[in-house]
Amino acid sequence: MDTRSELQATVDALVQAGKGLLAADESGATIAKRFERIGVASSEESRRAWRNLLLSTPGLGECISGVILYEETLGQCADDGTPLPALAARHGIVPGIKVDKGKLALAHAPGDEITEGLDGLAKRLAAYRQQGARFAKWRAVYNVSGELPSRLAIQANAQALARYAAICQEMGVVPIVEPEVLMDGAHAMARCAEVTEAVLHDVFHALHRHAVVLEHMLLKPSMVLPGKDAGHAAPAEVAMQTVQVLKRTVPAAVPGIFFLSGGQTPIEATANLDAMNRLAPLPWRLSFSYGRALQEPPLLAWRGEAANAAQAQRALLQRSRLNGLASLGQYEAALETAAG
């Protein structure tokens, strides 16, 4: 199979109706914080046990098409010795890999950040492919205030995202491009919309300059939301504002937009996605690529106890199914039916 056919096959496997992505690519520091909240020490074995629990959930492939893994997880094995990427594939779930190396302060731009990890990326991707990864993810973050992000931050992160995406496609790996406009702060929803539009505009200009094939990539943006300290927005408003920005900036050639949950509660993330999909017809598949919004309920059920594994898996499957319905615009109707 040539590279383009391989990329298309991966995209087709990921962008399936009623399915989304499980983001299980938390860094060591992030997963340690989540484990701390349930009284579990973060060790290589506890992280392996948790991700084994996630990927061995019966029926998960019915509503999850792909899983984003952390580099450590890519080399770990399930309880029966099966490599975790192979365990995911056995369930019909495409294994992917987070490839950025995290964020740091952007020089000459106080308050802004830039993501690093481009050095040696092609070589790393070749190794990840050998371990089973078929797609990758790179996250850029944008802090929001009246002055942030600066033009420099918007342009520098767009350039890095485009370089990453071009390298991925050259290596036969589908890139997920993740520009996250952070919820932190007291900014209004209108300010988030303004920043998100500027960010996506620059990202797609950079992707064009780097000859990235839009049909062979996926976008993982944040939703248009008010800052966490500025109150709450109804799903209908989130949907209208987010879709308006997407229509202004994202070419129809992009096959799928998989939202990050970005600090929303599991219920908020599902309701907002559902409201967007009820604005159909839309030129792209709108789905989910959630981390905490999928993992929080099973994590609270598990609490590091092997005896709680089945209960935790049921919680994961339940949230995955609800988000699968939301990706079809059927979540609210299903709730009404259940209530009636």
Enumerate residues 6+ apart whose C-beta is below 8 A from 13. 65, 66, 94, 134
Q: What is the mean pLDDT of residues 78-106?
A: 97
The three-state secondary structure class of 273 is helix
Instruction: Give the pLDDT confidence score for residue 242 in this predicted structure.
Output: 98
pLDDT of 14-71, one tens digit each? Answer: 999 999 999 999 998 999 999 999 999 999 999 999 999 999 999 999 999 999 999 9
Q: What is the mean pLDDT of residues 128-136?
A: 98
**305 in active site:** no
DSSP state of 6: H
pLDDT of 254-302, one tens digit each? Answer: 999 999 999 899 999 999 999 999 998 999 999 999 999 999 999 999 9
| Rg, Å, the chain Cα set | 19
What pLDDT band is residue 84 in, cutting at 50, 70 and 90? very high
Instruction: Give the pLDDT confidence score for residue 280 in this predicted structure.
Output: 80
% of the chain beyond a pLDDT of 70: 100
What's the gap between Cα 104 and its chain centre? Answer: 20
What pLDDT band is residue 94 in, cutting at 50, 70 and 90? very high
Count other Cβ atoms within 10 Å, centred on residue 288.
29
Enumerate residues 6+ apart whose C-beta is below 8 A from 101. 115, 116, 117
Q: What is the mean pLDDT of residues 183-199?
A: 97
> Residue 31 and residue 60: Cα distance in Å, rounded?
21
- Total-model pTM: 0.97
Asked if the model's pLDDT at residue 1 lies above 90, the reply is no
| Domains detected in the chain | 3-339 (3.20.20.70)
Backbone angles phi, psi at 83, to 5 degrees: -55, 140
- CA-wise closest residue to 224 among 185, 186, 180, 266: 180
Specify the higher pLDDT residue, 336 or 161: 161
Residue 104: strand pairing partners:
114
- Across 243-255, b (16+ Cβ under 10 Å) vs e yields bebbeebbeeebb
Tell me how far apart the 2 most distant CA atoms of the chain are, in Å: 58
Alpha-carbon distance values, 23 to 95, 186, 248, 250, 308 (Å): 11, 27, 27, 22, 22
Backbone angles phi, psi at 205, to 5 degrees: -65, -40
How many H-runs (helices) and E-runs (strands) does the chain carry? 13, 10
- CA-wise closest residue to 238 among 273, 281, 197: 273
> Residue 325 and residue 44: Cα distance in Å, rounded?
34
- CA-wise closest residue to 26 among 102, 104, 140, 127: 102
What pLDDT band is residue 340 in, cutting at 50, 70 and 90? low
Specify the higher pLDDT residue, 27 or 323: 323
* Catalytic residue (choose from 26, 178, 180, 296): 178
Q: What is the DSSP string of 172-199?
A: T-EEEEEEEE---SS--HHHHHHHHHHH
Average pLDDT of every residue of the chain = 96
Alpha-carbon distance values, 9 to 66, 133, 175, 235, 256 (Å): 13, 13, 13, 33, 14
**178 in active site:** yes
pLDDT of 225-244, one tens digit each? Answer: 999 999 899 999 999 999 99
Q: Cis before residue 281, ω within 30 degrees of 0?
A: yes
Asked if the model's pLDDT at residue 181 lies above 90, the reply is yes
- CA-wise closest residue to 75 among 91, 53, 56, 51: 51
* Catalytic residue (choose from 137, 220, 268, 296): 220
